[in-house]
Amino acid sequence: MPLLTYARYQQLGGELTEAAFSPLEMRASKAVDALTHGRARRDSPPREAVERAVFALVAAMHAEEGDEGREVTALVNDGVSVTYAARDGSPAGRWARIAREYLLGETTADGTSLLYAGVEA
């Protein structure tokens, strides 16, 4: 079961077609699963924070498929050459930061943080 259905994606304001959304949702759900060690999947239906995290990840992943939102550092007109600024960090690192913003403070029924990695600090 997906963490974010296409119908819910549209309710949240998503504009991608279902064909474009589905593979991104699967990747985003895997990222959330990895961060939460599968805890996010235990709720049925998924809690709103999880849906919104997946929604934000789908948007970020879609934006990274192209050059949307990237800073242009050089442009050559006749040869049509465009150079973009490097993105900060790896895609997985950026996606983890995005998901953590939504999942921070979310706990399971027994009080365990969704983001708990199994190590006491």
pLDDT of residue 43: 87
pLDDT of residue 118: 80
Please report the pLDDT score of residue 89 as a whole number.
60
| Predicted pLDDT of residue 72 | 52
What pTM was computed for the model? 0.79
Confidence (pLDDT) at 11 = 97
CA 80 to chain centre: 32
Assess contact for 40 and 69: CB atoms under 8 A.
Answer: no
Whole-number pLDDT of residue 56:
97
Given a cut of 70, the residues of the chain with pLDDT beneath it are 66-79, 82-89, 119-121
Contact (Cβ atoms closer than 8 angstroms) between residue 108 and residue 59: no
pLDDT for position 29: 96
